[in-house]
A and B are shown apart, each in its own frame.
Chain A
């Protein structure tokens, strides 16, 4: 972390310290945002420390380990508990977060729900056919499980934005991850040229294999679809399987 939270505390004794038990971190953030707080919240959970900076009630920067910005913010908010210190008037020159606090909190809750759903379904015994990725971590294998029963889906891989597959790194999954990141990069490049931004999803039809790529906040999902399947129909099934159950 490029911001030493302990030094910060020592230098700025003003503020208060408390535990997050009973009062959730989103509650604390919401209160500070509504009070147009300027300063920082340092959150400690086990060996980890995260810092969230506010300016006039808006969240402008977050740090957690090597991560900064929204990624760090969402990670801090996924901690199940911890201690926090509130330090008013502590500021930073970094401004890595541009979204409003309401959006950030809602997105954090959505990610938390997603994570809970995934860990729940990962705990449930797989009822369908084996997906061939039992070695993957919870999130990745859970998604593969959900998609494996869809006719036409050959295999799926969850990958980070830099193209590394999450979980099991078999050759098949690494290869699919490489293809997915390749398509995403092309989509971003062409989107940039035409001024339409980053690609959110892509579908490639081919003779021997077809490919679906979906973008999320911090990952891509690559799905290999057999060449003879109707790509549109498979995509509709995938979207249905991935949409949160009500």
Chain B
């Protein structure tokens, strides 16, 4: 997912991007080092808290575009996740919109794979059990406990 976020960040005016799950957990992020992960977790939680209210206001929420004095924050909804972009004020929204249409499709696939791997029960390889061969092959230096 990092690679797709990097492609999104390549759009002029994008400062950083992050993908968070519907419950607010951070799935991936690509922000300059100045922005620490706790900020993104907090932003994810803020979105998760408000998601239900926004859904009811709009039927099915697709995008939020919030404008500030010197910045713009764009939130694009995806199945079970939110893509959050921090942009400069001068970002070209048309270009961003086209780029997002492509990027979101890739992210959706990768995110569902990520979710499946996260939800799958952890399969642990059984510990190899040392079998004590009563008669180890001649020349063999492994394969069992020596008595």
Q: Which residues of A contact B (CB under 8 A)?
A: 179, 182-183, 186-187, 189-191, 193-194, 196-211, 227, 232
Q: Which residues of B contact A (CB under 8 A)?
A: 35, 39, 42-43, 46-47, 50, 53-54, 57-71, 73, 86, 93
Inter-chain contact A199/B57, CB cutoff 8 Å? no
Can you report 16 residue pairs joining A to B where beta carbons are below 8 Å apart? A183-B54, A186-B50, A191-B68, A196-B68, A196-B71, A197-B68, A197-B69, A200-B67, A201-B66, A202-B67, A204-B58, A205-B63, A205-B65, A206-B59, A207-B60, A209-B59
Collect the chain B residues with CB atoms within 8 Å of residue A198's CB. Answer: 68
Inter-chain contact A207/B68, CB cutoff 8 Å? no
Distance between B30 CB and nearest chain A CB, rounded to angstroms: 15
Distance between A231 CB and nearest chain B CB, rounded to angstroms: 9
Chain B, Cβ-Cβ closest to A201: B67
Inter-chain contact A208/B58, CB cutoff 8 Å? yes
Collect the chain A residues with CB atoms within 8 Å of residue B69's CB. Answer: 196-197, 200
Among A187, A189, A194, A209, which residue has its beta carbon within 8 angstroms of that of B58? A209
Inter-chain contact A194/B57, CB cutoff 8 Å? no
Chain A, Cβ-Cβ closest to B46: A189
Q: Beyond the given A194-B35, A204-B61, A207-B60, could you list 7 further A-B residue pairs with CB under 8 A, ordered by the A residue number?
A: A183-B54, A186-B54, A190-B73, A194-B39, A199-B67, A202-B64, A205-B65
Chain A, Cβ-Cβ closest to B75: A190
Collect the chain A residues with CB atoms within 8 Å of residue B62's CB. Answer: 205-207
Chain B, Cβ-Cβ closest to A215: B67
Distance between A194 CB and nearest chain B CB, rounded to angstroms: 6
- Provide the bound-state CA to CA distance between A6 and B86, in Å: 52
Chain A, Cβ-Cβ closest to B64: A204
- Provide the bound-state CA to CA distance between A236 and B96, in Å: 18
Collect the chain A residues with CB atoms within 8 Å of residue B46's CB. Answer: 186, 189-190, 193
Collect the chain A residues with CB atoms within 8 Å of residue B43's CB. Answer: 190, 193-194
- Provide the bound-state CA to CA distance between A205 and B55, in Å: 10
